[in-house]
Amino acid sequence: MRVPDAKVALSTASVYPESTATAFEIAARLGYDGVEVMVWTDPVSQDIEALRRLSDYHRVPILAVHAPCLLITQRVWSTDPWVKLQRARAAAEKLGASTVVVHPPFRWQRGYARGFVEGIWRMADETDVRFAVENMYPWRYRDREMLAYAPNWDVTHDDYRHFTVDLSHTSTARTDGLAMVDRMGDRLAHVHLADGKGSGKDEHLVPGRGDQPCAALLERLAAGGFDGHVVIEVNTRRAMSSAEREADLAEALAFTRLHLASSRTSRP
């Protein structure tokens, strides 16, 4: 049995509504290889020194930083989206994280969207940190669809150095996740692992509880010697207790490690 070099990390978003600090504690207790910090309204997620202390105390490395790209984080780390990315890069460099995850712009961020592809290349040229642009999805309400992201929710239509694939987002977009991974090719640097059932909402189910090719993707990564990070980014808001939330995150970790273990032997 061969296990690839990919590390399995816990997104701090996976413990919401509990805190960033709680995510470090759970990651350490369950044996995750590290965390991805979702920078959002929790002040600790925005504080580099507080994050460093948590990482050192729990002996859990910070492998990635998710830039504040959500609607609720429009004022986190400035209202200027380029400043947000600069601060995310600085945080990653200081914390030893190899990746900054970034969403494509909202369509109403016209100036930002117009120069986004070129700007991401320019920032990537200034650092060893990978800027991994994440696939999104159309917004739907009843029978109506709105294209909320620019240049495109399907980031493979544009030229980026590195990609993040999110299987909950492929589910919401009702697109073929493995075909998207094929289009990303060797530029796939980062994985957000979660499941979905094709709902109009971004579900972020525990892997194995939906219809996305979570197992097939992990096995493909193992066979290809993927050396990026696989990040568990699931929604545990409906957990009735902290124990139930932790059980979900333990199940997600076990599923991921099982399918990353490949029976294929390396060829000389």
Query: Domain map of the chain by residue range?
Result: 7-260
Closest C-alpha among 241, 203, 181, 256 to residue 3? 256
User: How many CB atoms are located within 10 Å of the residue 121 CB?
Assistant: 13
pLDDT (average), residues 145-163? 95
DSSP labels for 155-206? GGGS--SEEEEEHHHHHHHT--HHHHHHHHGGGEEEEEE-B--S-SS---BP
User: What six digits make up the tokens of 109?
Assistant: 């961020």
Per the CB < 8 A criterion, the answer to whether 165 and 180 are in contact is: yes
Mean per-residue pLDDT of the chain: 94
Q: What pLDDT, in 10s, does the model give residues 91-130? A: 999 999 999 999 999 999 999 999 999 999 999 999 999 9
7-260 CATH pick, 3.20.20.150, 3.40.630.10, 3.40.50.620, 3.90.1150.10: 3.20.20.150
Query: Residues 251, 130, 103, CA angle at the centre, nearest 5°?
Result: 70
pLDDT (average), residues 162-170? 98
| pLDDT for residue 60 is more than 60 | yes
Per the CB < 8 A criterion, the answer to whether 21 and 44 are in contact is: yes
Instruction: Kindly report the pTM of this predicted structure.
Output: 0.94
Q: Is the dihedral of CA 176, 178, 184, 188 positive or negative?
A: positive
| pLDDT for residue 188 is more than 70 | yes
pLDDT for 263 equals 46
Q: What pLDDT, in 10s, does the model give residues 208-234? A: 999 999 999 999 999 988 989 999 999
Closest C-alpha among 65, 27, 59, 60 to residue 45? 65
